[in-house]
Amino acid sequence: MAARSLLQAISEGLAEEMRSDETVVTLGEDVGKAGGVFRVTQGLQEEFGPLRVMDTPLAESLIVGSAIGLSVNGMRPVAEIQFADFIPPAFDQIVNEAALFYYRSGGAWPCPITLRIPYGAVPGGALYHSQSVEAFFCNTPGLKVVAPSTPADAKGMLKSAIRDPNPVLFMEHKKAYRLVKEEVPDAGEPVPLDTARVHREGTDITVCAYGIVLHSVLEAAEKLSTEHGMETEVVEPRTLYPLDRETILASARKTGKFLAASEANVTGSVSAEIAALVADEAFEWLDAPVKRLGAPDVPMAGFAKPMLEYLVPGAEAVEAAMLELARY
Amino acid sequence: MAVQGTRVRHEDLGLQEADLGSIHRSMLLARRIDERMWILNRQGRAAFVISCQGQEAAQVGAAYGLRAGYDYLYPYYRDLAMMLTLGQSAREQFLSLLAREEDPNSGGRQMPGHYSSRELNVVTTSAPVAVQYPQAVGTALAFKMRSESGVVLTSGGEASTSSGDWHEALNFAAIQELPVVFLIENNAYAISVPEKMQVAGSIADRAAGYGIPGVAVDGNDVLGVYEAADEAIQRARRGGGPTLIEARTYRMTAHSSDDDDRRYREREEVEGWREKDPIARFERYLEEAGLLDAEGKDALEAEIKAEIDQAVEYAEAAPQAAPESVLRGVYAET
């Protein structure tokens, strides 16, 4: 057991899967010699060679489409979309192709691909290196959209994603890459993709959060417990689509006050869906309106640091929203 | 003239009499199945038809050299004759047309013409145009990674060459020298939009830009297409990389049963191409080579008619999928 960053944990998980299963390959822009622009695939090409760790042309539709074709012919591709912001050219291959292969062929052609998607706002990222695109895909049956937020989960869930017979979009928060560290088992077991995680038990309010915002929530929960004796239950969906509805609803029914938080634009977000789910199926247990916290509906995010900080919910905004809900 | 020039071509191509019979049968079966589909549509018994008529030579010629179940095929929605060449049956076409549970392509979930067969390595087909090309390239890449001799054939109409996916796929296939054959069945129309409004320059010539062979072939000459495709397939198997084949042909029907092509093309043009019918042309070749006579042709027509009659009867009696089955099979189980 050793302390690993989110980035190191993902890198390890990928390398371990490639060692144990020779059909696992990785491809994308800069994943080879450069080791990925974030260094997630560093060292892999030296170990596995240029065919199993392949630099591709800069063409996202090709990257996803060829990953689909690899999976058809017995491989387990892990394709990197260098930044989530650049995924739109691959949208057709993801939602019309990968998502539907199994269903439209009556179960003949599963599509076991994993797409690694670094997402989220980082200082200096500006409009095209900051987006949270997960909601684009959380309305497409056939896809699994997962967003682990801690290193051990990320490693275990990446293993599950690679072994899963379905297309899995694996969202990696860029700001959490190096910021978030924890002990990670050296030979990590797969972590199931279909379960939410309760990080902290509480009785006063529930906050359901993922990504970098989850870490702000966990910090705020400790602080509010110490300062106000307020106990927050923190639930991380981990898989954003399909949702673990039972775990989320059980927590909402337990505390009666519910906040869904992430840094994505609020309208039509995963938080919006979680909030609707709670309003729909836990209404009679609620003591307050279901709340959402996220970025306002403007493009993400300004290059100027004050603009970025204004948009993305930071620790203070998270804490304020939690207190407001508790006091309702 | 053309017939004179092609008299003994099949021997040069290494094709036996049995091969010619098989090629002829696949083309004619495709035509007669297609015609019956339109009849069923106009009778209100089939909701939708999309056609291969006029493109049978391009399809059978290109697919004849594949090893079904080992090589992969990424077809497009007009490739009925290709499917028959690889081994799908008349019965399977009508099960698909009538959306029966036994439809091998999708179990009644997709429109007819969206082919799939795990046994034949025909990869499930989509309606968006050109998406199959990057996928075909990925499948070819898997063969290269494992140092296997498999080949991938993928096809589409000329309309699909407008798409970014097509260019991205050609580029990557050429960079990695992948065993993939791109067949463009240039049938002159993208629904109503004529080729001159879709295609700048020559499709076959574009191959030069990617540094791969580009072959323009008469798509109504089944032996010519076979020759080009066989050479491309053999080159791919040897590790020689991809080939682009442009087979110039013509879509003799409207785009689909929901389209009326009288809005956008003259009857004279269609009739002109009917005189170049690839099946009639191949039959003339067979007759001149002494391999087909009126009696043989009648016998084949009768045999095909009986096969289609039985296929339609079977498909009409076959059960529909249970309505609630639409909810199942969204995700594969681990």
pLDDT at site A187 = 78
Report H helices in chain B. Answer: 2-5, 9-12, 17-42, 56-63, 80-86, 90-97, 132-145, 164-175, 203-209, 222-237, 267-274, 278-288, 294-317
pLDDT at site B144 = 98
Q: What is the DSSP string of B34-100?
A: HHHHHHHHHTTS-S--B--TT-HHHHHHHHTTS-BTTBEEE--TTTHHHHHHHT--HHHHHHHHTTB
Q: Is A194's Cβ below 8 Å from some Cβ in B? A: no
Q: Which two tokens stand for residue B186?
A: 């240039």
Is there a contact between A6 and A170 (Cβ–Cβ < 8 Å)?
no
Asked if A73's CB is within 8 angstroms of B135's CB, the reply is no
Could you confirm whether B251 is annotated as catalytic? yes
Asked if B126's CB is within 8 angstroms of A165's CB, the reply is no
* Residue for token pair 């974030």: A38
- How close, in Å, is residue B218 to chain A by CA atoms? 30
Identify which of B110, B135, B334 has the shortest CB distance to residue A104: B110
Sorted by sequence, the CB contacts under 8 Å of residue A304 that are 6+ apart come out as none
To the nearest 10°, the Cα dihedral for A270, A273, A277, A283? 110
CA dist., res. A51 & res. A45, Å (int): 8
Q: Scanning every residue of chain B, which has its alpha carbon at the shortest distance from the alpha carbon of A56? A: B172
The pLDDT averaged over each successive group of 10 residues in chain B (334 residues) is 60 95 98 98 97 98 97 98 98 98 96 97 97 98 98 98 98 98 98 97 98 98 98 98 98 96 97 97 96 97 98 98 96 90
* Residue for token pair 């009326």: B260
User: Which chain A residues are Cβ-neighbours of B115 within 8 angstroms?
Assistant: none
pTM higher than 0.95: yes
Is there a contact between A193 and A164 (Cβ–Cβ < 8 Å)?
yes
CA distances for B213 relative to A162, B199, B230, B236, angstroms: 37, 19, 13, 11
B117: closest CA among B164, B83, B143, B140? B83
Is there a contact between A292 and A266 (Cβ–Cβ < 8 Å)?
yes
10 Å CB burial of residue A298 (0-12, 13-18, 19+) is: exposed
- Digit-by-digit pLDDT tens for chain A (328 residues) are 789 999 999 999 999 999 999 999 999 999 999 999 999 999 999 999 999 999 999 999 999 999 999 999 999 999 999 999 999 999 999 999 999 999 999 999 999 999 999 999 999 999 999 999 999 999 999 999 999 999 999 999 999 999 999 999 999 999 999 999 999 988 779 999 999 999 999 999 999 999 999 999 999 999 999 999 999 999 999 999 999 999 999 999 999 999 999 999 999 999 999 999 999 999 999 999 999 999 999 999 999 999 999 999 999 999 999 999 999 9
Coil, helix or strand at residue B233: helix
Asked if A56's CB is within 8 angstroms of B172's CB, the reply is yes
pLDDT at site B6 = 46
Asked if A67's CB is within 8 angstroms of B331's CB, the reply is no
Per the residue annotation, which of B250, B255, B281, B285 is the catalytic one?
A: B255
Q: Is A49's Cβ below 8 Å from some Cβ in B? A: no
- How close, in Å, is residue B151 to chain A by CA atoms? 11
Identify which of A61, A96, A107 has the shortest CB distance to residue B329: A107
Asked if A106's CB is within 8 angstroms of B138's CB, the reply is no
pLDDT at site A2 = 86
Could you confirm whether B331 is annotated as catalytic? no
CA dist., res. A29 & res. A23, Å (int): 20
Per the residue annotation, which of B36, B100, B251, B281 is the catalytic one?
A: B251
Asked if A65's CB is within 8 angstroms of B168's CB, the reply is yes
Three-state SS for chain A is CEEEEHHHHHHHHHHHHHHHCCCEEEEECCCCCCCCCCCCCCCHHHHHHHHHEEECCCCHHHHHHHHHHHHHCCCEEEEECCCHHHCHHHHHHHHHHHCCHHHHCCCCCCCCCEEEEEECCCCCCCCCCCCCCHHHHCCCCCCEEECCCCHHHHHHHHHHHHHCCCCEEEEEECCHHHHCEEEECCCCCCCCCCCCEEEECCCCEEEEECCHHHHHHHHHHHHHHHHHCCCEEEEECCEEECCCHHHHHHHHHHHCCEEEEEEEECCCCHHHHHHHHHHHHCHHHCCCCCEEEEECCCCCCCCCHHHHHHHCCCHHHHHHHHHHHHHC
User: Which chain B residues are Cβ-neighbours of A75 within 8 angstroms?
Assistant: 142, 145
User: Which chain A residues are Cβ-neighbours of B140 within 8 angstroms?
Assistant: 69
* Residue for token pair 């009648």: B298
Residues 200-259 of B with CB under 8 A from A: none
Per the residue annotation, which of B45, B237, B264, B314 is the catalytic one?
A: B264
pLDDT at site B79 = 98
Q: How many CA atoms does the CB half-sphere of A93 hold within 13 Å?
A: 34
Q: Which two tokens stand for residue B73?
A: 């095929």
